[in-house]
Structure 1
Amino acid sequence: MEDLVKMCRVCMGEAEELRDIYDNKSLGDELSVELKKSKEPEPTPADLMKNCSSVPVSSGDCFPLKICEPCLKKLRQALLFKRRYAKNTEFWGRVKSERKDQETLDILEAEDWNLADRIKEEVEEEDEGDLQAKKKTPSKPEEKPRPFKCADCPKSFTGKAQLTMHSRTHSKRSTRGKRRSLK
C-alpha cells in the first residue's frame, strides 16, 4: 500500500514529486491562459482524467491519488486539444450552415420571378371577370367580406394568402431596382 503513495496513477511510475489528483493549482501553461480568458476554473487532474478518457475517477476506488508532472502536462495538452477541436468543429458547422444559406439565396435569385407578375395578372383577370359577371347578373349575389386590405393600393381580399400573394407584386417592383443596383 505504501508503494501506491509514491506511484503515478497514469503511468504507474514512481516519483519523488507527485501532485494530488484533486489539487487544482494552475501550471501557467497554454491551458491556464485559455481558461483565464474564458473565466473558467482550473480543472483538477481528476477532472482532466474524466474529461479525456472514459474511465471513471473517484476517491474511493483504491487507485493511486497522485500524478506525476509529465503525465499531468500530457493530460492538460489533451484537454487543450479536445477543446480546440470542439471549437473548430463548431466553427466549421457554422461555415457549412452559412454556405447552405448562401446556396439557397443563389437559387432564389436565379429563379424566375416573373411568377409573381403572372399571379398578379391572374388575380387582376379574376377581379375583372368578377366585375363583368356582376354586371351581367341582374340580381346581386351576396359578396363575401374582404377584411384583408392592401397597404399599397385600394384592393382588398377575402383571405390572408391572397393578400400575401398580391403584396409580393408590390415588393417585386421595389426589389428589382435594388437587385440591379447591388450588382
Structure 2
Amino acid sequence: MDQMRASVNSNLAKLSILIKLLVGILILNLCFDRATQLIPIYTVGGNFSLWNTLMMSLKLPHFWTGLLVPIIYLFALWSASNFLKHFEEQKRFGDETLHLLQKIGADLMYVAMAAILMVPTIEAWINQGGRGVKTDWDIQTVTIGMIGLILKFVAQRARNLQSQLDSFV
C-alpha cells in the first residue's frame, strides 16, 4: 500500500513539472502565433519598425482581446500545477491545498467571464462603436465556468468542514 502511495505521489510531482513545461511551450506558441500575425504589417511598404508595427496592431482588436482568454487558461494550468505539487508535498488536504483548489476554480470562472462577456463586448465596442454589452454563450465556455464554480464551492465546503472538525478536537 505504501509503495502504491509513493508511486502516486511521484506521478503527481512529475505531472506538476510536465504541466509547467506545457505552460512554457504554450506561452512560446502564443507569442509565435501573434508574431506571425504581425509579419504582414511589419513588411508592408518598407515599414520595418517594430514600434510602428505595434502601433498598427492596436487597430486589430482581436489581436489583443484574443490574448485575454488563453492567458487566463495558462494561469489556471499553472494553478493546477501548484496544486498538484503542494498536494504531493503535504499528502493531505490542508488549508493551503484547499486554497489552491479554490484558485483553480476561480481561474476557470475568470476564463468563462472573459470569453462570454469581456472579449465580445470589447470587440463590439471597437468594431461597431457600440456602448452595449455583447455576450457569446458558447457551450464549452459555460461548461468550463461551471466546473470552476463547482471546484470553488467544493473547496470552500471542505474548508468549512475542516474548520468544524478542528473545533471539535
User: Structure 1 length normalisation: TM-score?
Assistant: 0.28
* Structure ranking higher in strand proportion: 1
- The structure with more radius of gyration: 1
User: Structure 2 length normalisation: TM-score?
Assistant: 0.29
Q: Which has the higher contact order (CA 8 A, sep 6+)?
A: 2
